[in-house]
Amino acid sequence: MGILSQEHTKPIKKYGGIKRDEKAITRYAIRHNLLRPKYLRKINWRYCVKTVKDKDVCRFIQSRLEELKISETRYGDLLEETDQEYPELMNVLNQILL
């Protein structure tokens, strides 16, 4: 099973390779009363630590590898744990965001 479902990969394929300006995206979100991009990571973190047993897995999901002191063995373990935990996290996030 892949990390992202097909419904999530369609927009990535559609918009992949297009250069985006972070400020333009933020301005668009403000103009249309949408959730600003900077809050998505914060929401993800809060629900991740509530849903996933190991905070290291949350750090791994958010690519906060600099906060982790890991060996290759631990990296493999985190990858495996992430594969197990990620679908549940996505279910939780889908329920609150969609």
Return mean pLDDT, the chain: 84
Q: Per-domain residue ranges for the chain?
A: 39-98
Could you tell me the pLDDT band of residue 4, with boundaries at 50, 70 and 90? low
Tell me the C-alpha distance between 86 and 90, whole Å: 6
Report how far Cα 39 is from the mean position of its chain's Cα atoms.
12
Q: What is the pTM of this model?
A: 0.61
Could you tell me the pLDDT band of residue 33, with boundaries at 50, 70 and 90? very high
